[in-house]
Structure 1
Amino acid sequence: MTAKDSRAAGLAAFASLAADETRAACLLALLDGRAWTAGELARHAGVAASTLSEHLGKLVAGGLLAQERQGRHRYVRLAGARVAQLVEDLAAQVPPAAVRRPPRGLRESSAGSAMARGRTCYDHLAGRLGIAVTDALTARGLLQQDTGFALTEAGLEWFGRAGIPLDRAGRRPLARACLDWTERRPHLAGVAGAALCRHALEAGWCVRIGSERAVRVTPSGERELDALLGIPSGALR
């Protein structure tokens, strides 16, 4: 087998990890950035614990998940930001018609609306909330989108004034575009996106709701985002 064939075989094997509905459901659930127990993921995916364990083994062996044990519990999480980016990018390529099935009852309809309104995408903000923040940063000259995402000097100063520290020591890009799978437009990811999301949750601008990745902007968050970025409260509801 040639080197080219070897790479092709490796790519096919890697892609097959997500080519299963149960494993895909686990990857999407773990985009909330938290560690889940195997039991929680089994209930979420609607499969038996033994079945789920086999799937998790494949995802861990393939490098998509990391796991740790605490007592009798097995916790798994996405292996890192690059895996989260891959999962979100793949989800964004799903044709809209493929996910437009009628919701199964009021609860599912409400959950879907909440996710579209605002959610976390691994460690940054997504949905209409993420787009509103990204658009506001761009409109104020704090973020450039013309040749990829990049914070301007004014943007760096804005993060400093807002009390949002940026960890620039690692290899992760400071700002990165992440295609939003509900809005079909890019939102802010990277170090800046993660820092902004973390600050929004720690400062009480946003709170998590339900068991999914959905977040809701609080009244104090509406005031802060209006004062800092000029985002009207109506755009956040």
Structure 2
Amino acid sequence: MKEGPDIAQIGALIGDPARANMLTALMSGKALTVSELAQEAGVGLSTASSHLTKLQDGGLLSQAKQGRHRYFTLAGPEVGEVLEALMGLAAHQGHLRTRTGPKDPALRAARVCYDHLAGDMAVRIFDSLSQRDFLSLDTHTSSLALTHEGENFVEKLGIDLEPLKKGRRPVCRSCLDWSERRNHLAGALGAALLTRFQDLGWARREKASRIVQISPAGQQELLKVFPVA
């Protein structure tokens, strides 16, 4: 008898090109309408609605109604982390888009992965935390956690850890970065760090894009706060 989770259903939902484009567009963490997602997928409104219904029934999307519009978002951060990991696998296997655009270098430098930072700077942050033993990995469970020194470091950055510990999400989680093919930090702490960087004026999200712009002053501060060997 076959046992365990059925990944075929999830794979079939993600595998359709139009649905894959919709899911990728929602990696920005922002809610999008049916018409916006239809444009991203290159399909008509009725076809887009059919795709969105399948994604919602499959547990990959959430829907909220406001007036005449329906807004869709990814069902949760774990969906975004799976999509980012699939992007990393696709890049590693050479399954790349044949046409690159002017935004590609900016996306590789710093971007949003659902609600946390991804890209070159995010990988640097993860490496810095790991090298200084601020993160610990349980080899038996593969769970990631802050060490005591790591907690002190994060709190000095102005992040209150208590609400993060009481939440449903893991505080720390590794997420395979598709462009760097190495880990960046996800989980509640990954989201809190991106919010903190924005509050400090170090980072700013581009409108209607996943790109995160790091200011010159922010670049200097991040390099200082997160040194790597």
| TM superposition score normalised by structure 1 | 0.85
Unaligned runs of 5+ in 1: 232-237
Q: 1:66-96 CA distances to partner (integer Å, 9 max, x unpaired)?
A: 0011011110001111222222222222144
Corresponding residue to 1:116 among 95, 108, 116: 108
Contact 1:126 1:180 in 2 (8 A): yes
**Using a 3 Å threshold, how does the CA distance of structure 1 residues 229 and 14 change in structure 2: closer, same or farther?**
closer
Aligned with 1:99 (options 85, 96, 101) = 96
Contact kept? 2:110, 2:117, Cα under 8 Å: yes
8 Å CA contact 1:67–1:77 kept in 2: the answer is yes
1:134 aligns with 2:129: no
Partner of 1:152: 147
Question: What is the CA-CA distance between 1:146 and the residue it aligns to?
Answer: 7.7
Residues 126-173 of structure 1, C-alpha deviations (whole Å, 9 max, x = no match): 110111111122233322358443311111011111101231112322
Q: Output the CA distance in 2 between the equivalents of 1:226 and 1:93.
A: 28
The CA deviation string for residues 37-79 of structure 1, in whole angstroms up to 9 with x for no partner, is 1111111222212211110011011111000110111100011
Q: Check if 1:34 corresponds to 2:30.
A: yes
- Do structure 1's residue 221 and structure 2's residue 213 form an aligned pair? no
Query: Structure 2: how far apart are the matches of 1:27 and 1:92?
Result: 15
Letter in structure 2 aligned against 1:120: V
- CA RMSD after TM alignment: 2.2
Contact 2:172–2:189, Cα closer than 8 Å, also in 1? yes
Q: Quick one: which amino acid aligns to residue 68 of structure 2?
A: R
Distance 2:207 2:123 in 1: 21
The answer to whether the 8 A contact 2:124-2:226 is kept is no
Q: Secondary structure at the match of 2:9?
A: helix
1:163-174 equivalences in 2 (<5 Å): 163-166=158-161, 167-174=164-171
Count of residues paired in the alignment? 223
Query: Does the CA-based 8 Å contact 2:64-2:72 persist in structure 1?
Result: yes
Return 216-225 or 188-197, whichever deviates more. Answer: 216-225
Percent of matched pairs sharing the same residue: 42
Question: Which residues of structure 2 form unaligned runs of 5+?
Answer: none
Provide the rounded CA distance (Å) in 2 between the counterparts of 1:230 and 1:185. 17
1:211 aligned onto 2:208: yes
Alignment partner of 1:52 out of 45, 48, 62: 48
Aligned mates of 2:114, 2:99 — CA distance in 1: 26
Query: What is the CA–CA distance in structure 1 between the aligned matches of 2:138 and 2:166, rounded to whole Å?
Result: 25
Residue 15 (str. 1) matches residue 11 (str. 2): yes
- Selected match of 2:181 from 170, 177, 184: 184
Does residue 65 in structure 1 map to residue 61 in structure 2? Answer: yes
Q: Secondary structure at the match of 1:97?
A: coil
Name the SS of the counterpart of 2:14 in structure 1: coil
Name the SS for the 1:98 alignment partner. Answer: coil
Contact 1:142 1:151 in 2 (8 A): yes
